[in-house]
Amino acid sequence: GQSLEQPSEVTAVEGAIVQINCTYQTSGFYGLSWYQQHDGGAPTFLSYNALDGLEETGRFSSFLSRSDSYGYLLLQELQMKDSASYFCALTGGSGNTGKLIFGQGTTLQVKP
């Protein structure tokens, strides 16, 4: 089967940099996605890694290492509005329909 693990909570201060790690177990997948979800809202797409390496989108970067079964989301210049839950998700691999397998989410609290 497929499974992902992420820390349940992370706390950081405004203006700092925070890294949210995601380790996974899978027999195959197309890519690793990251989503942000504020309380009461729907998940919004942040970043997608189909290949190993770093993807940068503004203050957010995501990294994937298939050999290490590991990825992370890096948030720079933290703002109070970044307080939310962050999910990593695998896009299903061979024989799969492309369904997303989600981690349980990391709650990020940004403090002043």
Partner 1 sequence: SQTIHQWPATLVQPVGSPLSLECTVEGTSNPNLYWYRQAAGRGLQLLFYSVGIGQISSEVPQNLSASRPQDRQFILSSKKLLLSDSGFYLCAWSASRRETQYFGPGTRLLVL
The pair of structure tokens assigned to 51 is 């290949």
Stretch that binds partner 1, among 10-18, 58-66, 76-84, 88-96 (CB under 8 A): 88-96
Candidates 78, 87, 106, 108; binder of partner 1 (CB under 8 A) is 87
**E strands, the chain, where?**
3-5, 9-13, 18-25, 29-37, 44-49, 53-57, 60-65, 70-75, 84-92, 100-102, 106-111
Candidates 7, 98, 106, 111; binder of partner 1 (CB under 8 A) is 98
Of 60 and 102, the one with the shorter C-beta distance to partner 1 is 102
Candidates 22, 82, 84, 92; binder of partner 1 (CB under 8 A) is 92
Give the count of alpha carbons within 13 A of 52, CB side only: 6
Verify binding: residue 72, partner 1, rule CB under 8 A: no
Specify the amino acid at residue 20. I
Alpha-carbon span 40 to 107, nearest angstrom: 14
Interface positions, 6-65, toward partner 1 (CB under 8 A): 30-31, 33, 35, 41-45, 48, 50
Q: How far is the CB of 67 from partner 1 (least distance, A)?
A: 20
